[in-house]
Amino acid sequence: MKKILYYFKIWLIISKNSFLNVIHQRLALAIFLVGKILRFVFFLAFLYFIVNSAGTLAGYSSHQAIFFFLTFNLIDIVSQFLFRDVYRFRPLVASGDFDLILVKPLNALFRVLMGGADFIDLVTIPPVIYALIWLGQSLNPSYFQVLMYIFLILNGLLIATSFHIAVLALGIITLEIDHTIMIYRDLMSLGRFPIDIYKEPLKGILTYLIPVGIMISLPTKALLGLVSPIGLFISFAVGVTVFVISLKLWDFALTKYTSASS
Amino acid sequence: MDKAIIVDHLIKNFEITEKKPGIIGSLTNIISPTKKIVRALKNISFVLEEGELVGFIGPNGAGKTTTLKILSGLLYPTAGFVEVISYNPWERNPEFLKQISLVMGQKNQLWWDLPAIETFELNKAIYEIPKREFKESLDELVSLLGVSKLLNIPVRRLSLGQRMRMELIAALIHKPKVLFLDEPTIGLDLIAQEKVRDFIYQYNQKNKATILLTSHNMDDLVDLARRVIVIDEGKIVFDGLFQELITRFAKEKIIKIHLGGEVDIKKLESIGEVKKIKIPEVTIAVPREACAVAASELLQNFPIDDLTIEEKPIEDIVRQVFRGGITRKAAR
Amino acid sequence: MRKYLSIFKISFQQEFVYRLNFIMWRIRNVIQILLIFFLWDSVFSEPGKVLFGYDRARIITYVFGLIFIRSVVLSIRSIDVAGEISRGEFANYLIKPVSYFKYWFTRDLSSKALNILFAIFEFSLLFIILQPSFFMQTNLIYVIFFLLSLVIAILIYFLLVLLFSSFPFWYPEQAWGSIFLLFIFTEFLGGGMFPLDILPKNIQNILSFTPFPHLLFSPIQIYLGKLELGGSLKALSLSMIWVIILAFFVNKLWERGLKNYKSEGK
């Protein structure tokens, strides 16, 4: 318990520092915020428009399709909010400053994974949650379905965390992570729509291999009552497995770590 | 006194994949890479008592930084025994990490865009320093280093020397028992170097912290270290008092004379080795034991206005140590 | 002329040095196309479905056309310009006997050349895998107009990048922000996600007052023959006017920007 408080307190201080860092660049903040909002609004309008005109998207109504999209946004934004520091990892390792992090009594993984919460996203999360609640009500889910939805969202975040940890581990081993992250983001973005629109074998790959399906589509499907208990079980199993593997990968990477210095 | 640092038969090897040129090279590299083993540390041993300040010198690539990194838990040894304040560094036990500190010249832990004080507060939380101790530590360090007016300026706007002082505070705020300093004065101007050196000396005296300092800057050692360990190509070449280093490897002393009249150079050469002639200054090297005799001979037989006896420049002495103590007619 | 040829060559070679970079970029492009392809494929899954004047063949042709056109129009190296200005590095080029604009345009062309090669490869690969119903334009005049529109689109995009990259002259920390906005505008307002004529008429009218539709949407329309002869000529002339307008603004902004830059004494 004491440990959790310790890490939470440090997370607050680091986040405060991140925030102070960013607040000095108000203009950049504003531009990115505007850009993100525009992108979101454009896409939303597009989606609504398409599905309404077409009548359906892979069997889902426009409200449902939009709910899929909003769920994607929730997971995407929350993981970007928490793990922004992963994007700053490569320069840290290349310069050797990472050594100074390893030498502290603070868990290094915690520091490089969560050490830079991106506060632009804090602005965008509440509206998405609000929209989800509002739209979700119109879909009339049962309490159990809502509960499953929330658990699967957490599961999705767990998988996202595992990906980011794996990216960090790769960053230590190869230094080639910028692209890995961007490809991960692109694959994630395939989850903007219910993955049923993808044909096999892509659909299968997305469901099981690169679990975009489990991360993003499944929560909404659970809300709509489309997931069997076995499906739920498999999803959680995948989440936990992937998480454990990523931690092992990180330990392995640290062992291999030889810093770049004279 | 407890032994703060024990290094016994330490060996460290690195495995590097050799990169072959060209497209064919890149392809074969993926299929069957050639690995090369670099022996960074070849069986070194030494012991540091609590409170010692030891200088660790050697040419670039000798293994100094590698040794420090092993002692602070960043690298794991290939073979051998390492213990720092009774801990195995590689295990990176948080209790161990709270008592050590690593400072590497030109590497930063300070948050760039924020005032240094923010990093100090963060370290206070990371090292779980009680409020009162933190304030005491901070005040002491700030006054020792003379940076009280700089605490609230963004680090990015400080000069290199000022930044280095802030890095030192960040590294020492938790009063570590063991301090590893890797090239702390590198890149600093002469005045800043002196300030840092004075500070390290005082810190060692006041807090009885064990300090291992690497450098290839001779002045760092002259001022700070009574004991030096010389490392070259992964092996320890000398471990003992600095004075002993000088007397053991400086077999010669330097006599500088200022001539008052004409002199036959050949006659001078009978006294000792003439190193440099720039009339009216002449520099002669004579064996240490014969120094007094040589000096009086010169004064008796030659028109000399001024005469001084000096030690060989330390750089030369140490360079000789690197080359295995072979005395050569080094070109100055 | 020869110096630009060598710039072209060096830029081309540099793409090979950053091989991984480049391959990843192509992979990302493919993933993005797949997203759009499957979306439309799903919408038009019912045989014979017609929506906003598009049938399955035409919409799929649109998407596949995007693969090729995006690599022609949107592959650039000149996004580095904003970074150079922000870091103060571009002063180096002001003293060299090479026009800064021409230098970057050459580098862009070099990048496009490589990207087109890959796009053709990906196009063929995806064609074989996804087996889309693709509309082949046979009317030579439309093909010629199409190629012309591509050339103009390249110019427009280049000018837009220069326009948005001038921001760092006044705000050096904003290098990425403005380019980010440009990308979003191009994606949605340029036809990168969907053909613009699915939008309601009034929105289309508003968009026609921006240069964006001429980047991706217009060229494909011309290729598909949807605009017919008169319409195509009109579109071409309009896009040419945009080139002139943008060139004017870019020159003015850069003049001002350089003045400001020099006075800052970086």
Residues forming a β-bridge with B7: B46, B82
In this complex, which of A34, A50, A183 lies closest to C24 when CB atoms are compared?
Answer: A183
| Residue B316 maps to a domain | no
**Pair of tokens at residue A6:** 């310790």
Does ipTM surpass 0.85 in this model?
no
Which distant-in-sequence residues (6+ apart) come within 8 Å of A49 by Cβ? C198, C199
Preferred mutation among C27, C36, C38 to probe A, highest tally of A CBs within 10 A? C38
Residues B171 and B132 in one domain: yes
Position C86 pLDDT exceeds 80: no
Residues B47 and B151 in one domain: yes
CB-neighbour burial class of residue B299 (10 A; exposed 0-12, middle 13-18, buried 19+): exposed
Nearest CA in chain A to B154: A21
Q: What is the rounded average pLDDT of the residues A106-122?
A: 86
The interface residues of chain A toward chain C in range 177-196, judged by CB-CB distance below 8 A, are 179, 182-183, 186-187, 189-190, 192-193, 196
| Residue B50 maps to a domain | yes
Helix (H, G, I), strand (E, B) or coil at C29: helix
Domain count, chain B: 2
If pLDDT is split at 50, 70 and 90, which confidence band does B62 have?
confident
**Contacts of residue A97 in chain B, CB cutoff 8 Å?**
107-109
Residues B67 and B173 in one domain: yes
Position A209 pLDDT exceeds 80: no
Mean pLDDT of chain B: 84
| Residue B53 maps to a domain | yes
What whole-number percentage of chain A has pLDDT above 90?
Answer: 31
Separation of alpha carbons C219 and B50, rounded Å: 77
DSSP string, C219-237: HHHHHHTTTHHHHHHHHHH
Quote the DSSP letter at residue B92.
Answer: -
Residues B75 and B223 in one domain: yes
Give the Cβ contact number of residue C28 at 10 Å.
Answer: 17
B114 to A21: CB separation less than 8 angstroms, yes or no: yes
Position B133 pLDDT exceeds 90: yes
Separation of alpha carbons A32 and B171, rounded Å: 36
What pLDDT, on the 0 to 100 scale, is given for residue A113?
93
Q: Where are the domains of chain C?
A: 2-264
Domain enclosing residue A156, as ranges: 2-256
CA distance B243 to chain A (A): 29
Position B23 pLDDT exceeds 60: no
Q: What is the rounded average pLDDT of the residues A140-157?
A: 90
Q: Is the C-alpha dihedral spanning A242, A245, A249, A255 positive or negative?
A: positive
CA distance A86 to chain B (A): 16
Separation of alpha carbons C228 and C224, rounded Å: 9
Which distant-in-sequence residues (6+ apart) come within 8 Å of B197 by Cβ? B185, B219, B220, B223, B224
CA distance B331 to chain A (A): 28
Q: Pick the residue with more confidence: B87 or B221? A: B87
Amino acid type, B232: D
Nearest CA in chain A to B120: A13
The CATH number of residue B300's host domain is 3.30.70.1150
Q: Give the range among A162-176, C30-44, C127-141, C153-167 with minimum mean pLDDT.
A: C127-141
DSSP string, B154-210: BGGGS-HHHHHHHHHHHHHTT--SEEEEESTTTT--HHHHHHHHHHHHHHHHHH--E
Domain enclosing residue B203, as ranges: 3-246
| Contact status, residue B253 vs residue B311, Cβ threshold 8 Å | yes
Q: Is B104 on the interface with A (CB under 8 A)?
A: yes
What pLDDT, on the 0 to 100 scale, is given for residue B216?
72
**Contacts of residue B109 in chain A, CB cutoff 8 Å?**
97, 100-101
Q: What is the pTM of this model?
A: 0.80
What whole-number percentage of chain C has pLDDT above 70?
Answer: 95
Q: What is the rounded average pLDDT of the residues C64-79?
A: 86
C38 to A183: CB separation less than 8 angstroms, yes or no: no
Of B151, B177, B178, B175, residue with least CA distance to B165 = B151
Domain count, chain A: 1
The model's pLDDT over A49-103, given as tens digits with 9 standing for 90+, comes to 888 887 788 888 888 889 999 999 999 999 989 998 898 898 888 888 899 999 9
What pLDDT, on the 0 to 100 scale, is given for residue B116?
92
Position C259 pLDDT exceeds 70: yes
In this complex, which of A17, A259, A261 lies closest to B114 when CB atoms are compared?
Answer: A17
What pLDDT, on the 0 to 100 scale, is given for residue B29?
62
Separation of alpha carbons B120 and B109, rounded Å: 10
Residues B79 and B172 in one domain: yes
In this complex, which of B107, B123, B128 lies closest to A97 when CB atoms are compared?
Answer: B107
Nearest CA in chain A to C183: A35
The model's pLDDT over A171-183, given as tens digits with 9 standing for 90+, comes to 888 766 777 888 8
CA distances for A110 relative to A13, A177, A235, B89, B259, angstroms: 13, 18, 25, 20, 71
Residues B139 and B278 in one domain: no
If pLDDT is split at 50, 70 and 90, which confidence band does B102 have?
very high
The model's pLDDT over B186-219, given as tens digits with 9 standing for 90+, comes to 878 888 888 888 888 888 988 899 999 988 777 7
If pLDDT is split at 50, 70 and 90, which confidence band does A261 have?
very low
What pLDDT, on the 0 to 100 scale, is given for residue B323?
65
| Residue B329 maps to a domain | no
B65 to A14: CB separation less than 8 angstroms, yes or no: no
**Contacts of residue A43 in chain C, CB cutoff 8 Å?**
188, 193
Residue A108 half-sphere exposure toward CB, CA atoms < 13 A: 26
Quote the DSSP letter at residue C136.
Answer: P
Nearest CA in chain C to A58: C42
A176 to C171: CB separation less than 8 angstroms, yes or no: no
Q: Is C35 on the interface with A (CB under 8 A)?
A: yes
Q: What is the rounded average pLDDT of the residues C27-39?
A: 86
Q: Is C177 on the interface with A (CB under 8 A)?
A: yes
| Residue A44 maps to a domain | yes
DSSP string, chain A: -HHHHHHHHHHHHHHHHHHHHHHTTHHHHHHHHHHHHHHHHHHHHHHHHHHHHHS-BTTB-HHHHHHHHHHHHHHHHHHHHH-GGGGGHHHHHHHTTHHHHHTSSS-HHHHHHHTT--HHHHHHHHHHHHHHHHHHHHT---HHHHHHHHHHHHHHHHHHHHHHHHHHHHHHHHS-HHHHHHHHHHHHHGGGS-GGGSPTTHHHIIIIIS-HIIIIIHHHHHHTT---HHHHHHHHHHHHHHHHHHHHHHHHHHHH---S--
Q: What is the rounded average pLDDT of the residues B250-278?
A: 83
If pLDDT is split at 50, 70 and 90, which confidence band does B30 have?
low
Helix (H) / strand (E) containing B9: strand B3-17
| Contact status, residue C143 vs residue C112, Cβ threshold 8 Å | no
**Pair of tokens at residue B192:** 């800043």
A46 to C188: CB separation less than 8 angstroms, yes or no: yes
The model's pLDDT over B153-187, given as tens digits with 9 standing for 90+, comes to 988 888 888 888 899 999 999 999 999 999 888 87
Q: Give the range among B277-281, B319-323, C255-259 with minimum mean pLDDT.
A: B319-323
| Residue A18 maps to a domain | yes
Q: Give the range among B27-41, B59-73, B197-211, B275-289 with minimum mean pLDDT.
A: B27-41
The strand pair at B252-259 and B79-84 is best described as unpaired
If pLDDT is split at 50, 70 and 90, which confidence band does A118 have?
confident
Q: Among B222, B246, B270, identify where a domain stops.
A: B246
Helix (H, G, I), strand (E, B) or coil at B94: helix
If pLDDT is split at 50, 70 and 90, which confidence band does B328 have?
very low
Position C246 pLDDT exceeds 90: yes
B72 to A103: CB separation less than 8 angstroms, yes or no: yes
Residues B22 and B40 in one domain: yes
If pLDDT is split at 50, 70 and 90, which confidence band does B315 have?
low
The strand pair at B100-104 and B178-182 is best described as parallel
Instruction: Name, of A147-161, B30-44, B284-298, the range with top average pLDDT.
Output: A147-161
Q: What is the CA C220 to chain-centroid distance, rounded?
A: 13
The model's pLDDT over C184-216, given as tens digits with 9 standing for 90+, comes to 999 889 888 888 888 888 888 888 889 999 999
Residues forming a β-bridge with B35: B17
**Pair of tokens at residue B294:** 């040589």
Position C266 pLDDT exceeds 50: no
Rg from Cα positions in chain A: 19
If pLDDT is split at 50, 70 and 90, which confidence band does C59 have?
confident
The interface residues of chain C toward chain A in range 116-135, judged by CB-CB distance below 8 A, are none
In this complex, which of A24, A95, A103 lies closest to B74 when CB atoms are compared?
Answer: A103
What pLDDT, on the 0 to 100 scale, is given for residue C215?
92
Give the Cβ contact number of residue A215 at 10 Å.
Answer: 30
What pLDDT, on the 0 to 100 scale, is given for residue A260?
40
B122 to A14: CB separation less than 8 angstroms, yes or no: yes
B291 backbone dihedrals φ, ψ, rounded to 5°: -60, -50
If pLDDT is split at 50, 70 and 90, which confidence band does C152 have?
very high
**Pair of tokens at residue C214:** 């001429």
If pLDDT is split at 50, 70 and 90, which confidence band does A255 have?
confident
Q: What is the rounded average pLDDT of the residues A244-249?
A: 95
Separation of alpha carbons A213 and A192, rounded Å: 10
Subunits with 3+ Cβ pairs within 8 Å of C are A
C31 to A54: CB separation less than 8 angstroms, yes or no: no
| Residue A87 maps to a domain | yes
Q: What is the rounded average pLDDT of the residues C219-238?
A: 86
| Residue B141 maps to a domain | yes
Q: What is the CA C211 to chain-centroid distance, rounded?
A: 11
**Contacts of residue C35 in chain A, CB cutoff 8 Å?**
189-190, 192-193
Would you state the torsion angle of the CA atoms of residues C30, C35, C38, C44, taken in this order, to the nearest 10 degrees?
-120
**Contacts of residue C31 in chain A, CB cutoff 8 Å?**
183, 186-187, 189-190
Nearest CA in chain B to A12: B122
Mean pLDDT of chain C: 84
Nearest CA in chain C to A54: C43
| Residue B255 maps to a domain | yes
Residues forming a β-bridge with B38: B14
| Contact status, residue B168 vs residue B201, Cβ threshold 8 Å | no
Q: Pick the residue with more confidence: B326 or A163? A: A163
A186 to C43: CB separation less than 8 angstroms, yes or no: no
Quote the DSSP letter at residue B87.
Answer: B
Separation of alpha carbons B35 and B18, rounded Å: 6
B74 to A9: CB separation less than 8 angstroms, yes or no: no
CB pairs under 8 A between A and B: 71
Q: Give the range among A105-109, A211-215, B91-95, C175-179 with minimum mean pLDDT.
A: C175-179
Separation of alpha carbons A224 and A55, rounded Å: 18
Of C153, C157, C142, residue with least CA distance to C223 = C142
Q: Is A13 on the interface with B (CB under 8 A)?
A: yes
| Residue B323 maps to a domain | no
| Residue A248 maps to a domain | yes
If pLDDT is split at 50, 70 and 90, which confidence band does B327 have?
very low
What pLDDT, on the 0 to 100 scale, is given for residue C58?
80
In this complex, which of A13, A21, A97 lies closest to B122 when CB atoms are compared?
Answer: A13
